[in-house]
Homo-oligomer: A and B are copies of this chain.
Amino acid sequence: MSKMGISKTENFSKNQNDIALFAKVLGHPARVAILQHLFKINTCVCGDLVDVIGLAQPTISQHLKELKNLGLIKGTVEGTSVCYCINPENWTKMKTLLLHFLDQEINQTECC
């Protein structure tokens, strides 16, 4: 019956859930590092990342899957390897969403 441990997403707006989803996927240093590496070299295969990041191949593969599920990266098969890169459209979407959230006006009148 109980659903503890689950986020009560139904309590929140689509905007709030979207922000949280994108933030969540950025909430692990390995995924941050993967994205930075993809930006840096602009084309990539999983094997490179295993060397660069220093985690086991299944772990990297799992992180890549999460990034792919949110649409931040896309991968195309090239022989036995897969070429991953940033998905510009969705990256821009995320950027817009997060920038808008981060740019909220801080009211400087006395508070606490």
Q: Which residues of A contact B (CB under 8 A)?
A: 7-9, 11-13, 16-17, 19-21, 23-33, 36, 39, 42-43, 53-55, 74-76, 78, 83-86, 88, 91-92, 94-95, 98-99, 101-109, 111-112
Check B88–A108 contact: CB distance below 8 A.
Answer: yes
Check A16–B43 contact: CB distance below 8 A.
Answer: no
Check B28–A101 contact: CB distance below 8 A.
Answer: no
Give 12 pairs: A residue, B residue, CB < 8 Å, sorted on A. A7-B29, A8-B55, A11-B54, A19-B32, A23-B24, A36-B104, A39-B104, A39-B105, A42-B107, A74-B112, A78-B112, A92-B106
Check B8–A32 contact: CB distance below 8 A.
Answer: no
Q: How far is the CB of A59 from chain B (nearest CB, A)?
A: 9
